[in-house]
Homo-oligomer: A and B are copies of this chain.
Amino acid sequence: MKRLENISMESYINNVIGHVDNTIIEKLTPGLQDEYERNLYEAATHLFKAGGKRLRPVITYMITDMLGGDTNRAILAGAGIEMLHVFTLIHDDIMDRDELRRGVKSVHAEYGINNAILAGDLLHALGMRTILEAVRGLNEQIIYESIRLIHDSIIIIAEGQAIDMGFENSPIVAEDRYFKMIEKKTAQLFGAAMGLGALISGQDTKIVDMTIRAGINTGIAFQIVDDILGLTGDETEIGKPKFSDLREGKKTILIIKAFEDADRNEKEFITRVLGNKEVSQSELEKAVNIILRYSLDYARQKASEYIKQAKILIDQLPEKNPLPRKYISQVLDLTIERRK
């Protein structure tokens, strides 16, 4: 891919997303004859057509570009990371019974649970296959480390999802367990997205580890903001039902913090609402107001701190190209300022 100079961040990002999306669509259009196979690929394509921020491929690309790596490889790597991300979304939506995602029906709601399980499995393998293509021809150490990083990440994400599901049946959760959970479930893939950019660019272990840590800090901030948007966001902007975290009994940083600081009556009220499918909309809203009063500033503060840590790490990385470094920093700010 041609390296672009002096373009706006918006153009830079749109250019990356265009190439990533073309790659994904190409991989998901293998020209199969059998109608049942075509149906499977259609189910696997569903969420890509519905939009999404493509944040993970964008950061893979920016890290690669900043470190002077091959940006054609970064597009493939980013496309693979996004396919893995969507694989986890599809399976998570089945487990969480979420019927809406990216403003459209979730895959199992549209194609049934069986097709959704299989579409997720397909994207898992296709995503890995695309990342393998990204590192093809590099030396065996880079190939090994790249593939290992991604498999380890998928393992860690599965562990994180297990903890998240378990929390739904826990009365209340300590804050450090919550942070461990989101580090595994959400932040690990951000770490892998950045780390892969460094690996592709031929960086040594120390630099790769720093990018992974930068990504993990970014991902933790991202998840905190997701938790905030789940209570404050506009349903059409966030693309999923409002307050679904509350209905499912998810333990988010906001709920944990409110539960720590609220008075006894408020605690009892939150406990009654949490994970209770029978409560009314006005009760839900009352619970949200209580929760936000105790936790919104705290959660925003936490997200800012993690982004600050990510930026400190990014600033220490070597730099071949100044434009992507500048833009990464702006993208990290957007991660916490976003409304969807």
- Chain A positions near chain B (C-beta within 8 angstroms): 32, 34-37, 39-40, 91, 94-95, 113-115, 117-118, 120-122, 124-126, 128-129, 132, 136-140, 143-144, 147-148, 151-152, 154-155, 158-159, 161-163, 165-167, 177, 180
Contacts and interface: CB of A to CB of B under 8 A. Distances in A.
B158 A144 contact: no
A161 B163 CA distance: 30
A286 to B, nearest CB: 30
Contacts of A167: 36
Given A37-B162, A159-B40, A161-B118, A125 B151 contact: yes
Contacts of A155: 122, 125-126, 129
B129 A148 contact: yes
Which of A39, A137, A161, A180 has the most C-beta atoms of chain B within 10 angstroms of its own C-beta?
Answer: A161
Given A124-B124, A151-B128, A158 B91 contact: no
B36 A165 contact: yes
Nearest to A40: B162
Contact of A125 (B35, B158, B180): B158
Nearest to A152: B129
16 contacts: A34-B180, A39-B166, A91-B117, A94-B113, A94-B117, A95-B113, A95-B114, A95-B118, A115-B162, A118-B162, A121-B124, A122-B159, A124-B124, A129-B148, A136-B144, A147-B147
A163 B36 contact: yes
A110 to B, nearest CB: 16
Nearest to A27: B155
Contacts of A177: 34
A139 B138 CA distance: 11
How many protomers of this protein does the assembly include?
2
A45 to B, nearest CB: 14
Q: Is the interface of A mostly helix, strand, loop or mixed?
A: helix
A132 B158 contact: no
Contacts of A151: 125-126, 128-129, 132
Contacts of A114: 94-95, 165
Contacts of A148: 129, 132
B32 A159 contact: yes
Contacts of A118: 91, 95, 158, 161-162, 165
Contacts of A126: 151, 155
Nearest to A163: B36
Which of A91, A158, A177 has the most C-beta atoms of chain B within 10 angstroms of its own C-beta?
Answer: A158
A123 to B, nearest CB: 9
Nearest to A35: B166
A152 B30 CA distance: 12
A152 B133 CA distance: 12
